[in-house]
Structure 1
């Protein structure tokens, strides 16, 4: 997420290291690069200009603290200004129950999926969500929402025979309340562009259901165009919040950095992938830290707590401590990590690691490793010493890989087992040498 912007910003600030005082002279070049980085990220030019002016005003003339470098001070100032730009304060939905949420946006922005994702997130927090299929022009959208609602066990309403969207909304609201739902999410139809018919239909639905929240779902990867879409919808409907989708594929970040400043509407949630779990509450301070390469440990821990089974983690830790770790355990660990997202996204949450780019096939390699282990029998996973030449040929064929890949996995797994035995025996020096050797040979296969 925003890798290009992160790389350019950290590069711009690198030149300030070792400077004793922040002055107009040594700040000029750095801020020029910061401004160029923002503009190349498709940040609105007025937003970029005002941002640089505020940063410069705070930086110039400040004396450098003995314990802090000028670069660190500037990073802190830029971080705080980024938080303001992204939207300070609460980004939660209204606490009212029952809560009615109207979801609007253009076709292709991820509106229907985001409706289900939001329902899932609210359900995890104890709510009783109910989703309403209001896109009467696309039967596939109704089918999609119904499938997702069943998958996540959400209440669902549709009327395939009617084209009266306000009428559908009113009946759906009545049905939701009768079923004791306390959050009702209304999906709506989109268009390829903003037009009079789209706006009028949504206005009529809004009048019929009287929503407490009007949320625009916007494709964050559109950059400046997403900001223009948000402004048009806000002028017509008075938005209360935004969901930016597809940020997992957005290396620039222009929409996220401009949209709050231009529209005055807060970002409340972000979509970071296609799966229903790839959806997060928006925290401006955390995203600012990610953009500046400072990681996001809080979100990483929260994600781990949500996806990793605590008892299973404790059981695995005990097996590692006793050096009793087999390929079946290794497979279980890989599957737990996969639930947290892509390897690159996990790496981006670690302080100082956001600029590190894994090989493009890192996730693909993890899948291949998983396929190799799944092609083994349970007995082979639990006792890898059984894997002779003939068994390895059979496993390679079953996984659709070369035998050399099976051999490489077994060699690296054998090294890992040796490291665990060293940890158990307390031989730290030998362990460090072994780790250096593994690092030189490319490490583990994931």
Structure 2
């Protein structure tokens, strides 16, 4: 998970709050101390960390909980609301209304700009839009080949000139084709630092292109330094937003996110992994929900709909939450989950799952188990998958031999399947969903499968 250390520390502080019998000033002060340590440990500026913690403390001690919500639930909701505000509050969305909508990426060497261009192309193509990638980075020798390979990987048209040294000439040569696309993504050159030469080049490209969005790509590992860099780029070339990359592999991501939120350039996307699909629109509410273990149902449902048809996702969701699913349903769900990303990412989107204190490495172990289960289920007959109750010792032996696994592993699958049905039924109960809704301040995404 992105910012996993920060998330785990914040969840641990909320677990202490949940266990507390009475919410008094002492408990609130302990909560604030834990949150402050967690934020500073994630490279958040000390002054900003103090500011948010003071706001949470004042609200928690002075505000009366709304009717029907306990002081504990209200305090958790205050933490959620203030962290959301701290990260910019509203989603920095990009509206694709004009054809073409031109998105220009700027940034320094090593920020992941070219890779991000490919990820953006993949994201918009998945939405059914016509996309192309344009190379104007005439400075870095490998830029042309890298972007061309990414375009081929995501199956979108590529425009560029390997020998051309003037980026404006590249734009002028191909701009007549841009009207064919909904989204045109332009990768520009970088430098080791924002110098006069880079500023002048970006300004020339921007004038020739007249982009709808000028997005600064920043690496999350620069932490608090993101604020200065974002402000400098904004002042120099008027960037409209920021994309923060490499958030999955740094402990300084909190500093980068909060630093950018303090500038006039909102964070619009975040890189959450190395794969071409690992780019997300930055939605502070959803992001904080995952950090605090409240889940992110909106993103979870979106990923589920991308992995399977909407009608199938809704039908499966209802069956799962009723605890009324077969091994065949579980198999289909596992196949869909493979398309949704690593199990740890998916688990953090499920309300309540993130708050469970799981052993270190548990999710990795479970991922391996799922592979074993898949082999076992492939050796079952359709009748056995749709009615697991008929699987007796003789069938277990046959399934084990057919899958190359042990009888014990087959029994474990059947045991886990029964336990999973019970847990899902409990999580989908009206009482549990009411509790989750309370924690989220009465706000849940629309079109949920329950």
TM-score normalised to the size of structure 2? 0.76
Deviations along 1:369-408, one digit per CA (max 9) or x if unpaired, are 557878x7999x999979979x978965xxxxxx65xx44
Aligned to 2:22: 19
> Is the alpha carbon distance of 1:62 and 1:372 closer, same or farther for their aligned partners in structure 2, counting shifts above 3 Å?
closer
Shift in Å, 1:295: 0.9
- Among 167, 170, 177, which residue is 1:168 paired with? 170
Aligned to 2:294: 294
Shift in Å, 1:355: 4.3
Structure 2 residue 202 is matched with structure 1 residue 198? no
Q: Distance in 1 between matches of 2:284 and 2:242?
A: 13
Aligned to 1:112: 114
Which SS does the other structure have where 2:262 is aligned?
helix
Runs (4+) of structure 1 moved beyond 6 Å? 311-318, 321-324, 371-374, 376-379, 381-389, 391-395, 416-420
> Is the alpha carbon distance of 1:90 and 1:41 closer, same or farther for their aligned partners in structure 2, counting shifts above 3 Å?
closer
> Is the alpha carbon distance of 1:159 and 1:244 closer, same or farther for their aligned partners in structure 2, counting shifts above 3 Å?
same
Q: Is the 8 A contact 2:226 2:256 kept in 1?
A: no
Which SS does the other structure have where 2:62 is aligned?
coil
Deviations along 1:292-317, one digit per CA (max 9) or x if unpaired, are 22111121111101112457776999
Q: Is the 8 A contact 1:127 1:182 kept in 2?
A: yes
Which SS does the other structure have where 2:275 is aligned?
coil
Shift in Å, 1:247: 2.9
Which SS does the other structure have where 2:161 is aligned?
coil
Q: Is the 8 A contact 1:3 1:354 kept in 2?
A: no
Aligned to 1:182: 182
Q: Distance in 2 between matches of 1:194 and 1:257?
A: 20
Shift in Å, 1:225: 3.1
Aligned to 1:58: 59
Aligned to 1:362: 366
Aligned to 2:125: 123
Q: Distance in 2 between matches of 1:71 and 1:84?
A: 20
Please list, as runs of the form range in 1=range in 2, the aligned pairs for 1:298-377 lying within 5 A after superposition: 298-309=298-309, 333-356=333-356, 357=358, 358-367=362-371
> Is the alpha carbon distance of 1:70 and 1:256 closer, same or farther for their aligned partners in structure 2, counting shifts above 3 Å?
farther
Aligned to 2:428: none
Which SS does the other structure have where 1:263 is aligned?
coil
Q: Distance in 2 between matches of 1:248 and 1:366?
A: 23
Deviations along 1:138-179, one digit per CA (max 9) or x if unpaired, are 4543223223323333232010121112222332323323xx
Which SS does the other structure have where 1:56 is aligned?
helix
Please list, as runs of the form range in 1=range in 2, the aligned pairs for 1:134-283 lying within 5 A after superposition: 134-177=136-179, 180-250=180-250, 253-255=253-255, 257-283=257-283
Aligned to 1:441: none
Q: Distance in 1 between matches of 2:258 and 2:231?
A: 11
Which SS does the other structure have where 1:276 is aligned?
coil
Q: Distance in 2 between matches of 1:68 and 1:242?
A: 37
> Is the alpha carbon distance of 1:269 and 1:324 closer, same or farther for their aligned partners in structure 2, counting shifts above 3 Å?
closer
Deviations along 1:221-242, one digit per CA (max 9) or x if unpaired, are 4422333332332232211011
Shift in Å, 1:204: 2.3
Q: Is the 8 A contact 2:221 2:256 kept in 1?
A: no
- Choose 1 or 2 for highest CA Rg: 1
Q: Is the 8 A contact 2:65 2:71 kept in 1?
A: yes
Structure 2 residue 20 is matched with structure 1 residue 35? no
Shift in Å, 1:417: 8.2
Please, what is the CA RMSD of the aligned residues? 3.9
TM-score normalised to the size of structure 1? 0.76
Q: Distance in 2 between matches of 1:393 and 1:296?
A: 40
Gaps of 5+ in 2: 426-450
Greater shift in the superposed pair: 308-317 or 130-139:
308-317
Q: Distance in 1 between matches of 2:419 and 2:85?
A: 47
Q: Distance in 2 between matches of 1:190 and 1:270?
A: 19
> Is the alpha carbon distance of 1:145 and 1:15 closer, same or farther for their aligned partners in structure 2, counting shifts above 3 Å?
same
Which SS does the other structure have where 1:60 is aligned?
helix
Q: Distance in 1 between matches of 2:168 and 2:236?
A: 17
Deviations along 1:338-361, one digit per CA (max 9) or x if unpaired, are 111111001111122224443444
Shift in Å, 1:283: 1.3
> Is the alpha carbon distance of 1:288 and 1:325 closer, same or farther for their aligned partners in structure 2, counting shifts above 3 Å?
closer
Greater shift in the superposed pair: 286-295 or 5-14:
5-14
